[in-house]
Chains A and B, each alone.
Chain A
Amino acid sequence: MLHTRVVDIKDKKLSIIDAEKFISSSDFGASIFFSGTVRNQNNDKSVTGITYDSHDALVIKSFEEIYNEADQKLEIKDKAVFIEHAKGFLNLGEISIIIAVACKHRDEAYVLSRYIIEEIKKRSPIWKKEHYQNNETDWLKGNPIQYEKN
């Protein structure tokens, strides 16, 4: 069971309550909620906010691939996964990503949650532009995506 969405921050904010509603089930005994938030420091600079950019269709595709891989690579068949990522300008402390997972047992839930966030960092086309106290901005250097065979 999977829910994915790229949320334009002009429309709504990311909500842990939404995540809890989606994954909540008596089928599962362990739930993990991960949220990423905007930090006030990076590389010795005072950050005032971050603008997130996203190729929405590719991001959703990557979320679905990561979820499906969990079946094969991690052998976690029974699970509920909620992934939402924000796009647009976020102030300090606001939530940029929520990954909520529910599994039968805690070992699986911890492994799955960590797997999803690390794969998103490597594969999902999302970009950050940091805003600083001196009104400057900077796109953060990221990781190049690898080619897929066509």
Chain B
Amino acid sequence: MKVTIELFGASRDFSNQDSIEINIENNSTIKDVRDKMLDYLNSNFKGNENFIKIVNSSVFCSKNNIISDNYKITNHEKIAIIPPIGGG
């Protein structure tokens, strides 16, 4: 199934678009999405270490809630990656 990941902050450098789309197995969790994103970075950015750090230190968000790595994703669900923050 497909999942759309909206990009924010430093993760915007992962693509020229505002989001990326990845294919995952049914009943996948956020942990699986994180792993798929690392695969995506290895393929497209030769394993850029800074990008990998961003993914590993980010949380994810669905329907305006921060979700845990055990959260199960539904088909075509839109989630957002939330890298470490620092506004003000």
Contacts and interface: CB of A to CB of B under 8 A. Distances in A.
A73 interface: no
A interface residue count range (under 10 / 10 to 19 / 20 to 34 / 35 or more): 20 to 34
A150 B65 contact: yes
Given A53-B12, A55-B61, A139-B10, A117 B68 contact: no
B55 to A, nearest CB: 12
Interface string A44-78: 00000000111101110100000000000000000
The binding surface of chain A is classed by DSSP as: mixed
A141 interface: yes
Interface string B3-15: 0000011101100
Interface string B49-88: 0000000011101001111110100000000101111111
Contacts of A96: 87-88
A147 B58 CA distance: 10
Interface in A103-150: 117, 120-121, 123-128, 139-150
A79 interface: no
Contacts of B66: 58, 145-148
B65 A145 contact: no
A29 interface: no
Contacts of B69: 147
A15 to B, nearest CB: 18
A97 interface: yes
A125 B88 CA distance: 10
Nearest to A117: B88
A116 B65 CA distance: 20
